[in-house]
Structure 1
């Protein structure tokens, strides 16, 4: 099987959408390991916009008059049995370079008109009846409705019933090197779908709908994102914290006692804990199998969490969660919130 895997994100290898597309392709390889994969990062290619000159129809039929990287990409597209289109949602559509690539597929079409499936189309110059397509996309908003409809319809019109879709809202859940448990579970689901796809050649509509369910509660996700955006606009306090009091130290010790082995041992995590009522702070250094209390400030820290001692005690006891405290304004986070999300994986009984 020839698979053309198109990464259409301006973030290239750092794309959140690419994590989902990678999982899908890995699933395909589980059942068809001998497949040939051509993975193309479009934002590393020179792809000029289509001029609309129709030269590929009349002057040089089947060949674009523009000389750039599409010369090598068009043959890959034509030979592909499956094309995986991976892209984030930009203004309810696709990023500009992906759109330029799509427009430059025009040499594949004939200038003739034909009526097909209730509409008028240009027939393919090359036999593409068996070619299948998979659209993988994420968006920043927390719900699928009123977000993916335009791009989904575009691929329905382009590919008829030969396209399947993996459309995931709350894409920020995948935009980190340290995924939370919910995001990791979704990647496992997508990988299983990829394995099934090589057998069935499609993704069932019920499965597509299941994959479009956000990995976090939509209302809670929106509230947390908005709260973090508001905090980010205010500077963190510049006070140098004293050593934590015995009560504050007991909170840190409770975290240490609940530490479990890091599921991602290749990356240590350091988070600063600030106790606002006593203006003290310390850092927790989480390594492969140990968690230690270190002085703060710590230049290795990925994030800083600030609350008073009483609130920290309630979080440790399970009376509230970090996200609840964040939403009601009694806790603040600066830095990488994705690092905070990892606390739920690293500490038994701590809810984020």
Structure 2
């Protein structure tokens, strides 16, 4: 066995890429901060009940499980930080008003997914608790757009849906759980023939509405069409009105918007608007988000909630390859004025690498393109001739 080999879909991040990821992480957290989002650091391990509460079977399958040697209880390595943030809001902070939280950290998943196809994504996210209106959905969506633009991603595209459209149809027709799951799967694949076959024993209104959902995808005009072909119920009218408000609110942000009313990602987890962000050069979504008002209930307090998360390691995959941060080389010298000069350069954010006595440094390996040279009674930075 080669002891240096890592498990499949687990990989090291080397210096240049690690430096860029950390710079972008800091950029995003600073952006979240000025928008009022407070940074939290949830634990890597929790009891399984907390980690998967309210988020369905998929997250259970994605979670690595271990036995706590102190209590004998089953614990999990977090696969998603969103439930942890909901727990902190509902149980620890216990604010009565609006709470804005953000987080950044590694998560571990049993199978690779996302843009980077890794089992160890670096998840960043922002969550807003305590507001049930579409205004908080719009705030979160605008923050996501600004975050991706701050990273350097342009030509953004946002795709929206609303899980209550499908949910209200299912509830009104009292569809059995097994049939609900089968219809959900058929709609996700836009398999109209399967939807037709599965809904043949439902009432005509529901059956026709489900068939229409497979075709209701495109620009804002789809919402107008949906108003004409879907049942005129309060839940559906409210869902379509919310989507229309979102479309209007995002105008002028240099982003295109589309709607896909059969997209039900996280249907058993989300409770309202859901969305995904895309951009040219990426094969899948850069970020996912939506409303999830019921998750906090398991932690003692149901709170209205909306948010998004992204895998920073995945997002940087389509950026230009990272270039190393270039450094200044300083000779091994005990001159006090050299130490003062080095400290001054480092205080300004410059990387200065001082040679160790008795060792000849390879300046290319150190990524040094400048050096400190003593002349005119002082130390000066000069370019290194290649």
Q: TM-score, normalised by structure 1?
A: 0.27
Q: TM-score, normalised by structure 2?
A: 0.25
Could you say which structure has the greater relative contact order, defined with CA pairs below 8 angstroms and 6 or more residues apart?
A: 2
Structure label with greater radius of gyration: 2
